[in-house]
Amino acid sequence: MRNITFGFFDDSGLPRDTRILMFYSFETEEHFPRSGILHYHVAEQRFVGPRHDQELTAAALDFLSRAGRLPLARE
């Protein structure tokens, strides 16, 4: 994955404190563009919907954390 970017769909109509919709785009090693939408369920602390590449979801979690959108981890 190269040139990965993320952004938020904050006007999706979903409550921000329980669900986060975000878009992503990147380029594969073969130079093919890829993009899509990720749906993160805050209470369950997981992405919902179709399975996604582990590298993509790890990068998305890092983005959410840096953006201050994830609550403190449960102990």
pLDDT digits (tens, 9 = 90+) for 7-66: 998 776 767 778 899 999 999 999 999 999 999 999 899 999 878 789 999 999 999 999
Res 18: pLDDT: 84
Question: Taking the domains of the chain in order of start, what are their residue ranges?
Answer: 2-66
- Exposure string for 7-43, b = 16+ CB within 10 A, e = fewer: eeeeeeeeeeeebbbbebebeeeeeeeeeeebbbebe
pLDDT digits (tens, 9 = 90+) for 39-55: 999 989 999 987 878 99
Res 47: pLDDT: 93
The Cβ of residue 63 has, within 10 Å, a number of other Cβ atoms equal to 19
